Chain A
Amino acid sequence: MITEFTPLTSAFGGALVGLSAVLLMALHGRILGATGIVGGLMRFDNASDWALRAALLLGMLAAPTALLLVTGTGPTIDIPVSTPAILLSGVIVGFGTFFGGGCTSGHGICGNARFSRRSITATISFMVGAFVTVFVIRHVIGA
């Protein structure tokens, strides 16, 4: 499936993501990491931390509706893989981000923006993992 190259729209969306990361640090003093939010919601030792993460998550979940209300069109979400592949992928992503200590947002944006060597290493690792996997699935196995 071909997708349109959208440098300006993507950079604008990225800038909004960056803005949200800066605001979370400025107001709440935290790194914005999706893995940390999900993982933290599965932990119930600190009520105010839990509530903060729940509010962040609710804001994220409200995004498609907000986009629809403002622009008149919802987000494009094309899923070119099977349901078993989605389930397998979810488990592997959850497993990997736990041990890797973060994902595209926490390491890829927040960590790299602080020039953290840990995050730069993590980013290179998950990028390599994804490039190799897509190559193998699409061009070696040929799915």
Chain B
Amino acid sequence: MKLLTAFLIGLIFGTGILIAGMGNPAKVLNFFDIAGTWDPSLIFVMGGALAVTIPGYLLVLGRPKPLFENGFQLPATKLIDKRLVLGSLTFGVGWGIAGFCPGGALPAMGTGRTEVLLFGVALIAGLLLARLLNRAITRPAGAARTA
């Protein structure tokens, strides 16, 4: 049951991403190209998402616990440091190069398109590289984990 609901949640996420245009690099890159072929659609993606998530979270997080688990797993760290800012800036640079963010690429990978799959492989390589570097420079991993 837990896996079925997770599958369906992934399906809703993926379908939403593709309908929104977040899985389409041409559209994503145009959002960032205000000085050129600007397409402001992505503001509406974030707007639509937050319009549902803000009240939805208020409702859900007001409950004692989620349906299938004993508690909510929310990021513990509140730290705003160089790691957060430089990491996110770096992510932005990568996002601006090809127009794929992880959430946009995963559903798009379902098309089996070679370029998208290559992005996925490179994404994993980058993550593993960062994990190795992190292990080399620090003992405890300070990064908050998400789902």
Contacts and interface: CB of A to CB of B under 8 A. Distances in A.
Contacts of A88: 94, 97-98, 122
Given A93-B126, A94-B130, A61 B14 contact: yes
A96 B90 contact: yes
The interface size bin for chain A is 35 or more
Interface residues of B, number: 121
B15 A58 contact: no
Given A37-B147, A89-B122, A130-B32, A13 B91 contact: no
Nearest to B108: A77
Contacts of B13: 16-17, 20-21, 32, 56, 59-60, 63, 105
A82 B102 CA distance: 18
A93 B6 contact: no
Interface in B67-90: 67-69, 71-75, 77-80, 83-90
B48 A18 contact: yes
B80 A118 contact: yes
Contact of A129 (B53, B65, B92): B92
* Chief secondary structure at chain A's binding surface: helix
A20 B96 CA distance: 26
B26 A118 contact: no
A40 to B, nearest CB: 7
Contacts of A4: 39
A38 B20 contact: no
Contact of B97 (A19, A56, A92, A122): A92
Interface string A56-79: 111111111111000000111111
B88 A126 contact: yes
Interface of A: 1-40, 42, 51-53, 55-67, 74-81, 83, 85-114, 116-118, 121-123, 125-135, 137-139
Given A61-B14, A98-B127, 19 more contacts: A3-B39, A6-B21, A14-B20, A14-B44, A33-B147, A52-B3, A55-B10, A65-B110, A66-B14, A89-B100, A90-B120, A90-B121, A94-B122, A94-B130, A109-B46, A113-B50, A128-B92, A129-B90, A133-B32
